[in-house]
Chains A and B, each alone.
Chain A
């Protein structure tokens, strides 16, 4: 169903936006979807923006204390493009600090799953997924570095789309890992993703790494399951996934199992590259030009900066330490440079069999854990949760996460990965999927 088109056609009662804001305020306190709600919204299709994407004049913190009070004097290119097309900003959504997390709990207000508030919503684009799950007419502008769109989309039962790297300008995105960061979307239908892509992609002179490309509705009848990934999936998820695959098989898809031994290295490679880049991106936060301010200028600059940087959360500190260490001159070739080489090797390998097939897997290897469980994970346990989303993100390939099942009332998702610039093929796949599989939502705020 096309929610965007439907909304534009329908008559809105007077006071529609005020009523929406009122109801949203209440649910937001419960689930922690928004860091900031735009009370000024009075027209247009509601769009939420992940809080690491700059909107002129609207506080943008990436859920970090160190950015409290940062008012960007400019808007991200993607926001400018969508505002011109009739989308209006409903607010800035909660996230793991700077995008560092898979569960949405690395934030002052840990995000909660709208299907079960004792469970995580997924991350890092936690608020984007919650907002999509509770608002009927709404789309979310989110961002993924290693799976930050797919993971929360699958835990919250919405469609999450991560485009080919470079298709959407990153200008205005607060960087996590520049060579991996991709702005993308969440919505309640694949058709809405198609609409959003049509209005937002394309070269932006302000982002050198953005590209123009012709996107075709590539159709592929072959779906590949990667053994190394399949073997690491949780039991419950596996049986649900097997059912989904059966359905697809009887719908005419050819299913194939393949082994890609290199894929096992994608997690360390991903974390090495992203931490090395993140540790340089986080160096700029020093407590005087924007965001958090240290008062006492008479401290020497080293002490001054150190005081400001106490405001980083623990995962941010961990990434700074590790990232700084692994790009040090004496170990750079062992970690950083080696990781860049393996990235190419993995990408080349994946490209070769993506020529005539899509890759299919569950989006997450587990059902959404409880917040308590997630808080007890070690960093390495956390990182291993990204194993299914990392390969496509590492290679810059597009992927779509679609709700595929409900286990004990909790949504789970499948992830389809395509080759470079095969974005619309994935959207088409989603559109087909939605003809036979109906998504459930507990809330429909703003229904008409």
Chain B
């Protein structure tokens, strides 16, 4: 992977790392991707992808309101202002 591409990847991931760790991570990434490339040897174009390992029929939820019993417990985890959650600037 080119340096510029790796830096772009870091940015997309919202990650910033010190120079030394950056070198290590870049090398690991290259090594691991090379290892992953191994799977291109396998021929299985006519196989359906397995999104799960077992088949699970989707079961819907009925459209009923249930109030969550501990809204306060949720908001205790965060900073609020007049019941709004405070977030970073946009």
A–B contact at 8 Å CB threshold (below): yes
* Chain A residues close to B by CB (< 8 Å): 56-57, 69-71, 73-74, 164-166, 179-180, 203, 205, 208-209, 211, 262, 265, 268-269, 271-272, 279, 286, 288-291, 293-294, 297-302, 304-307, 309-310, 312, 314, 317-318, 320-322, 324-326, 334-335, 337-345, 347, 378-380, 383, 394-397, 420
Verify B49–A317 contact, CB threshold 8 A. no
Verify A288–B51 contact, CB threshold 8 A. no
**What's the Cα separation between A420 and B59 when bound, in Å?**
20
* Chain B residues close to A by CB (< 8 Å): 9-10, 12-17, 21, 24-25, 28-29, 31-33, 35-36, 38-42, 44-45, 47-54, 56, 58-59, 61, 68, 70, 73-74, 76-79, 85-90
Smallest beta-carbon distance B20→chain A, Å: 11
Q: Contacting A71 at CB < 8 Å: which of B32, B56, B73, B88?
A: B73
Q: List 25 A-B contacts (CB under 8 A).
A: A69-B77, A71-B73, A73-B73, A73-B77, A166-B56, A271-B36, A288-B78, A288-B88, A289-B78, A294-B88, A297-B86, A300-B90, A301-B89, A307-B16, A317-B21, A322-B29, A324-B12, A325-B33, A341-B50, A343-B50, A345-B42, A345-B44, A347-B50, A379-B31, A394-B53
Verify A396–B56 contact, CB threshold 8 A. no
Tell which of A164, A291, A297 has the most Cβ of chain B within 10 Å. Answer: A297
Smallest beta-carbon distance A105→chain B, Å: 17
Verify A321–B13 contact, CB threshold 8 A. yes
The answer to whether A341 and B16 touch (CB under 8 A), given A208-B58, A322-B32, is: no
A179 contacts which chain B residues (CB < 8 A)?
51-53
Smallest beta-carbon distance B58→chain A, Å: 6
Known A73-B68, A343-B49, A347-B50; 16 more pairs at CB < 8 Å: A56-B73, A70-B77, A165-B53, A265-B38, A271-B36, A289-B77, A294-B88, A297-B87, A297-B88, A309-B13, A309-B14, A321-B9, A321-B10, A325-B33, A340-B49, A342-B44
B14 contacts which chain A residues (CB < 8 A)?
286, 302, 305-306, 309
Verify B31–A378 contact, CB threshold 8 A. yes
Q: Contacting B52 at CB < 8 Å: which of A165, A312, A321, A345?
A: A165
Smallest beta-carbon distance B39→chain A, Å: 5
Verify B39–A396 contact, CB threshold 8 A. no
Verify A321–B88 contact, CB threshold 8 A. no
Verify B21–A314 contact, CB threshold 8 A. yes
**What's the Cα separation between A427 and B74 when bound, in Å?**
39
Q: Contacting A299 at CB < 8 Å: which of B44, B49, B89?
A: B89
Verify A379–B32 contact, CB threshold 8 A. yes
Verify A306–B16 contact, CB threshold 8 A. yes
B74 contacts which chain A residues (CB < 8 A)?
73
**What's the Cα separation between A429 and B76 when bound, in Å?**
47
Smallest beta-carbon distance A423→chain B, Å: 13
Verify A209–B52 contact, CB threshold 8 A. yes
Smallest beta-carbon distance B76→chain A, Å: 7
Verify B31–A300 contact, CB threshold 8 A. no
Verify A338–B29 contact, CB threshold 8 A. no
Smallest beta-carbon distance B13→chain A, Å: 5
Verify B78–A342 contact, CB threshold 8 A. no
Verify B17–A341 contact, CB threshold 8 A. no
Verify B42–A300 contact, CB threshold 8 A. no
Smallest beta-carbon distance A134→chain B, Å: 32
**What's the Cα separation between A350 and B44 when bound, in Å?**
16
B70 contacts which chain A residues (CB < 8 A)?
56, 73-74
Q: Contacting B77 at CB < 8 Å: which of A71, A340, A347, A380?
A: A71
- The chain A residue with its CB closest to the CB of B21 is A314
Q: Contacting A320 at CB < 8 Å: which of B13, B35, B38, B41?
A: B13
B68 contacts which chain A residues (CB < 8 A)?
73
**What's the Cα separation between A299 and B47 when bound, in Å?**
48
Verify B53–A395 contact, CB threshold 8 A. yes
- The chain B residue with its CB closest to the CB of A211 is B56
A341 contacts which chain B residues (CB < 8 A)?
44-45, 47-50
**What's the Cα separation between A296 and B70 when bound, in Å?**
28
Smallest beta-carbon distance A293→chain B, Å: 7
Verify B77–A208 contact, CB threshold 8 A. no
Smallest beta-carbon distance A413→chain B, Å: 23
A272 contacts which chain B residues (CB < 8 A)?
36, 39
Smallest beta-carbon distance B52→chain A, Å: 5
**What's the Cα separation between A236 and B89 when bound, in Å?**
58
**What's the Cα separation between A36 and B72 when bound, in Å?**
23
- The chain B residue with its CB closest to the CB of A316 is B15
Smallest beta-carbon distance A28→chain B, Å: 26
The answer to whether A310 and B16 touch (CB under 8 A), given A322-B32, A325-B33, A342-B44, is: yes
